[in-house]
Amino acid sequence: MHHRLSLVLAGVVAVCAAAPSAMAIPAFARKYGVTCSLCHNPAPRLTAFGDAFAGNGFRMAAAEPARDTTDTGDPLLELARDVPLALRVDAYIRAYTAGEASTDLQTPYALKLLSGGTLSSKLSYYLYFFLFERGEVGGIEDAFLYVNDIGNVPVDVAVGQFQVSDPLFKRELRLEIDDYAIYRARLGTQTVDLTYDRGIMGIADIAGFTLSAEVVNGNGRGEAQPNRRLDDNAFKNLFGHLTRALGPNLRLGVLGYYGRARGVSATTIDTVVNTTWMVGGDATIAFGPVELNGQFLHREDDAPTFTTGEAPVEFDGGFAELIVAPPQSRWYGVALYNLIDASAPLLDVRLGGTAPVDRYHTVTGGLGYLLRRNVRFYGEATWDIELEAGRFGLGVTAAF
């Protein structure tokens, strides 16, 4: 392991901060008769108002009167006149300096059907269905019910399917084509990562701190087992995140993850239990149109392939992200630096389907332009330092 990696990324985390924790869709702009820029700059990145709107369960205020509802005469039924729906389409033209395909017309790459809204004064929902993702039906990703201010105290609960990393940096809100690789990284044959899982998330505001706690299955969003159970283990995994704003420009956070999984050793047919744990820190510093985000994560697995007597494996890694988005400009710029250093091959980390690697190291830069508030054009270049290869992309994202 490269011990300098921990020091470098810890330094980044000390001066960076986290992204908002929820998203909105064009259906909300239609409902309230407002511009998308009230909540996004540029879309899908949230403004402070957009973050508060999502935290209120997709309401302008915590106690606002019902809007666009049908009067059924039943005080226990708040029924929207129309089901709120929106669409998002992403299309890319990609080019590569290594691999079999030098150019690729990914048009479209993804098509989403989104819905969200209120069910009562405190109950909301959000979901989206991938009608088309990478050439096939992608299925449900985010899908949860959200209860706001339980018992009239600042405690919210989400139940359903969401990304474990949502309290940190929300992957669905990033402006880059390239990904936050550390959230996707896996070790051995484990299904544990910080992307999608099924479970319960609680969020509480306590003495200036925001505490997020999750209980999840720990095996992602895959299909049910033959017995129709979605969890393939007796164990539940735990995630916690504590964050605090230190003034108007800086926010710091710490996280922890603990999980166990049982499998059968391929060599001895013994039952082996793997323990996964992670610790890390995240931060954001923002001054005017400039925002710098950072994430550091350390992970260890003691039986990553469920093999009797195998040695533990680990990785250190994270990312740093720079966003420059002047509020009155239709132009924006981004830069993203990914670095993961592992003691064993990483799985599901490199976009493009190349063989597993034990070190992932990339740098990305890009520019974007808002043709309309809900239509964004952008260009991006990524250099893979380990492979000494580049990938380039032109993209368009439209939501309506």
Q: Which residues of the chain have pLDDT under 50?
A: 2-23, 351-353
pLDDT, tens only, 226-275: 999 999 899 999 999 999 999 999 999 999 999 999 988 877 778 899 99
**What is the domain count for the chain?**
1
- Spatial separation of the C-alpha atoms in residues 50 and 46, rounded to whole Å: 5
pLDDT at 396: 96
pLDDT at 82: 80
Read off the CATH number of the domain in which 21 is found: 2.40.160.10
Asked if 274 and 288 touch (Cβ cutoff 8 Å), the reply is: no
pLDDT, tens only, 158-179: 999 999 999 999 998 899 999 9
pLDDT at 61: 64
Asked if 329 and 302 touch (Cβ cutoff 8 Å), the reply is: no
- Spatial separation of the C-alpha atoms in residues 25 and 83, rounded to whole Å: 13
pLDDT at 25: 67
Enclosing domain of residue 364 = 3-399
Closest CA relative to residue 294, chosen from 326, 258, 325, 323: 323
Which H or E run includes 50? helix 48-55
- Can you give the pTM of this predicted structure? 0.85
